[in-house]
Structure 1
Amino acid sequence: MTLPFKAVAVDMDGTFLNEKRDFDHEEFAKILSIFEKEGVHFIVASGRPYARLKQDFVDFRDRMDFVTVNGARLIAEGKQIGITPIKRDLILATVAFGERTYNGVTTLVFGPGKAYVLKSAPEEEKKFLAYFAGDVGELDKWEDLPDEDFVQITFNCGGKNAPDIQKAINDKYGKVISAYGSADFAVDVDAYGVSKAEGLKELLAKFGLTGEDLIAFGDGGNDIEMLKLAKYSYAMENGMDEVKQVARYIAPKNSENGVFKVLEDYIKKYLN
């Protein structure tokens, strides 16, 4: 027998990673080796930039592919194969709107290789955001941003304001950019039309595959379209209710290594 899928896509935070923001490297090595033998592509589809993901998978990154910053930048076989940027002037306008409308948010702006935060941001917030960014520069004011294109804005809300911020940005900038609640406390903003699903479609096409060949795992609002795309879609037990409503199946919690458990069940069922 053969596995019923030819590609695996996993979200990171709240999905593939456990509560310590880590994963079982030894077990993953075993699973990845099996997938390579079976011709199954392993894809990370994350809001994280590639600068961070390279660190997360330092021992495995050459054996995987990546849909990064929610689909704005695609990495296949270690090379960038696609990028959908946001112009600097639109970045500045959106940041100003978000910070003006929701006083107290901490903002991070991602470029292809580096992210930026204000020096005035709270130290704890800067440390938290720097973990996700991988490489961070500090600015006195947003107008000091380099004159280049960027791939994402993240608003860290601290509370439960993410749905309100998401709606406000989408209402104002509807056909230009798209905002997603990646967690209860965070909103990611990308170029309009960018999503993990669209990024996966492009990446899968490179391999001669479609969503019919895909198994996907997610927990947050930015995973919904990806789960709709996948024939075998799993929401994590710890995921948002709206994510569980669109997925075909429920995986155990990320703190229980839910992704590994599901994949191991498929391996036992089809390959043993």
Structure 2
Amino acid sequence: MQNKYLFAFDLDGTLLKRNGTIDPLTQQALTYSEQKGHYNVLATGRGILKVKHLIKNKIIQNIHFAVCSNGSIIWDVNNDKINIYGKLSKEVYYKVRKYALEHELLLNFDTDVLNGTLVATKNQNQYPTWMTDDEKKRLKIFNRLKLEQCDDLSNLNSTNLLQMSLKSSTELWPIVTNKLKEELKDQAIVCLTNFNYTDINPIGISKYQGIKKLLGNLNLSKENLIAFGDSGNDCEMLRNSRFGFCMSNGTPEAKNIASEIIGDHESDTIGKKIFELINQTN
């Protein structure tokens, strides 16, 4: 099955433009890919409800699977089935919570039934003090959570806490990430991503490990994998793919690993590359 492709796409900074839409030519390419018998897969740090919103509102179409929360959960789109592969402990939650409250960070809290954001501020401010006016304008919160909600959910045995992520200022970003890496080294994977986010995932979980499960289920190998990404949590799938493409707006780490650096996420570069690869095999 050498000519069967599984196209895997990061969302933010890759498949999606800054305004949350997909380039029209790239959408045409996804449709063409499906028509030619290939697989289109989203591989994202976003929680599953945020991804379902995109697909059910037809912001992105012709998707077969979604690897969400950096691989903690996989959604079979056509059959509307999910599989959970890892979750974080209550202890991890409270350690991350401490940093969010101390530094006024945005804490994204993802389970299989709830995706939301805790905006940790002091003095009951609407926004953290480090946020610029431009960041406030661009901030889009899917579901704003209260601290009590997060605490209550984390204490329930039935809660599948699939992922957390912290958004911080440019100055705090590497500091918080490095501190959490040390504090959670035996309990979770901590990864620096783009747009000042720090992802916290269960040990053994990653986008690529989720994709690897899909490849096995579909009787494919990494020789069939074509990956597109832009930052730290994409590096493993870029490295382990037949072709790994990094966006020109990507991080230095992702660019160094990629097979090729293509245009930025505001352009039609992904669509052009999909058409090029498929037409080479016909």
TM-score bracket, normalised by the shorter chain, equals: 0.7 to 0.9
Are residues 1:225 and 2:225 paired?
Answer: no
In the superposition, the TM-score normalised over structure 1's length comes to 0.86
SS of equivalent to 1:130 = coil
Deviation at 1:175, TM superposition (A): 2.3
Task: Kindly report which structure 2 residues correspond to 1:1-272, keeping only aligned pairs within 5 A, or say none.
Answer: 4-25=3-24, 27-58=25-56, 59=58, 63-76=63-76, 77=78, 78-97=80-99, 99-100=101-102, 103-118=103-118, 121=121, 123=126, 128=139, 130-131=141-142, 135-140=143-148, 142-146=150-154, 147=156, 148-271=159-282
Partner Cα separation in structure 2 for residue 166 and residue 219 of structure 1: 18
Cα 1:187–1:270, aligned 2, differ >3 Å: closer, same or farther? Answer: same
Q: Deviations over 1:230-268 (max 9, x none)?
A: 111001111001100011111111111221121122234
Q: TM-score, normalised by structure 2?
A: 0.83
* Deviation (angstroms), 1:28: 4.6
Paired amino acid for 2:107: T
Show CA shifts across 1:152-181 (max 9, x none).
111110324322222221112112101111
Per-residue CA distance 1:24-52 (angstroms, 9 max, x = gap): 35x45532332223221100000011111
Distance in 2 (CA, whole Å) between partners of 1:30 and 1:236 is 19
Deviations 1:216-239 (A, max 9, x none): 000011101111111110011110
The secondary structure found in structure 2 opposite 1:108 is: strand
Q: Secondary structure at the match of 1:91?
A: helix
Report SS of the residue matched to 1:215. strand
Q: Give the 3 Å change call, closer, same or farther, for CA 95–24 of structure 1 in structure 2.
A: same
**Secondary structure of 2:215's match?**
helix
Is the Cα contact below 8 Å between 1:114 and 1:137 reproduced in 2? no
Higher helix share: 1
| CA-CA distance at 1:5 after TM superposition | 4.8
Q: Tell me, which stretches of 5 or more residues in structure 2 are unaligned? A: 129-135
Q: Secondary structure at the match of 2:161?
A: coil
Q: Which runs of 5+ in 1 are unaligned?
A: none
Deviates more, 1:121-130 or 1:246-255: 121-130
Fraction of identical pairs, as percent: 21
Distance in 2 separating the partners of 1:233 and 1:173: 30
CA contact (8 A) 2:106 2:120 kept: no
For 1:136 and 1:106, the matched residues in 2 are separated by 10
Count residues with an aligned counterpart. 264
Distance 1:62 1:113 in 2: 24
Partner letter of residue 146 of structure 2?
A: E
Structure 1 Cα separation of the partners of residues 203 and 147 of structure 2: 26
Structure 1 range deviating more: 142-151 or 237-246:
142-151
Q: Which amino acid aligns with 1:197?
A: Y
Measured in 1, the distance between the counterparts of 2:140 and 2:18 equals: 17
| TM-aligned CA deviation for residue 124 of structure 1 | 5.2
In structure 1, C-alpha distance between the alignment counterparts of 2:277 and 2:75, rounded to whole Å: 27
Give the distance between the partners of 2:202 and 2:107, measured in 1 at CA: 17
For the 8 Å contact 1:98–1:169, the answer to whether it is kept is no
The two structures, once aligned, show a CA RMSD in angstroms of 2.5
